[in-house]
Chain A
Amino acid sequence: MRFAILSLVAFVALGKPAAAQQGGYAVIVNEANGVSTLSAEEVSKIFFKKTHRWTNGLDVVPVDLPESAPAREAFSAAVHGKSVGAVRAFWQQQIFSGRAVPPVEKPSDEQVVAFVRATPGAIGYVSAGAPISAGVRRVPIVR
């Protein structure tokens, strides 16, 4: 048991704190997704896994950037109206009450784009200036 406890402590101690930088972001979906615009509230519900299906019947699959990504900080503030830490606290509540786990996390803009391109129901966000390749398109967020 002591080993397990030490491992837990080491695991957390090695974790990186969230970056404090701000940056822009762009929401992207798979090209096959018919959605033209989304509201910030709709996107927030998707990333909190409160919306499960697109109107075309596909399962919604949100994908996040790491907590240290400036685009994530900007996305959390603009879409959820919460800090990355507050969003993390929400997911801790979900995880440890056995309900749900956070969206899939990809380490870079390129990998988010690749995941969204490969997954018809996926929705993600990347840094504002990140290149968007074929098979993926930006979705404007309306206020």
Chain B
Amino acid sequence: MKEKSIYEHLKEKGLSRRDFIKLCGTIAGMMGLEFAPPVKALGKMVHPDPTEMVAKALSSQPKLPIVWLEFQDCAGCSEAMSRSSSPLLSKLVLNDLAIEYHETLMASAGYQAEKAKEECLKDYYGRYVLVVEGSPTLAEDGIYCTVAGKSNLDLLREAADGAAAIIATGNCASFGGIPKAKPNPTRACGVGEIIKDKPVVNIPGCPAIPEVTTGTILHFLIMGKLPETDHLKRPLVFYGHTVHDHCLRRPFYEAGKFADNFDGDRARKGYCLYHLGCKGPITYNACASLKWERGLSYPVQSGHPCLGCSEPNFWDGGGFYQGQSAALIPPAAKTSALAAGAGLAAGATLAGINSAKKNRAKKALASAAENSPTDSTTAAPPEKKEE
């Protein structure tokens, strides 16, 4: 029997055609599809309407099975997803795209859950999308994180084997995140460092913006491939600009108006948070444009500097509340004193050698003068010291 398309599933649940087209428009807009890839028709290049393209994909594609694995994480990305601002989209992903296995969200547990996963991996081999949340651990073959008696490395490799694409959501899965922070006892790392033979896309953030995760999954569903990425494998649509680029406090930055503490008048007036350690200028993420909670706000808007959570090693990247230009490791008084001492010693030694040399030369001159008393007036040692 032919598998039902997503549209047919939605129709069964009572979604009208009008609502379906609206949904397609929303998806296209959120994915940043300004126009669809051109199609050649009747000898001309035609740019189809993106909404139409989304609608076609959703009405022709069967459900997209998703396997969601969790390793060293706080489930924050899942939490963000389940409380996503656009209920339409997260509902679509959570209910209608068929997440086949998700430890936190699924009703079943224990053997039942593991059995469901096994079946899914077998049935949908080569077709499912693997979403990874949390960082895998390399230390001692991954025994620091086990599920159902299997180490996380085995679990990851097993699931990645039949995956059509892998999406690493959150900073932990993308770059190692907080588990990777010094001293990193479990040797946490990003998924991309372990799985090399499959397409991996990173959705870093702490948590990842749910619209970005859903958007990337939908992109795969609609386009049949993962979105274009930057050098850190982040989708360019969402990670193409810095938080600073679209920040609503940007005009204050341009005007040179900065808040100097969290409590003061200047902070209340909404001035730029650069002095308070905002990492917006070096952080690539869609916070400032997509925002959170249905576009309600994002950290900088609510008065907290950007922590740079979509960048690798953000947890060890220097203090969160120190201005961007401040020295990360200012030399301690002791180090400076040592450096000064070294300079002093080197200078004094060389000066000593120099003056010994001069004294020798003087003595030589004096003895030469004694030997030839006639020249004694001219051979007097020079008064002025010179190098």
Answer yes or no: do A and B interact. no
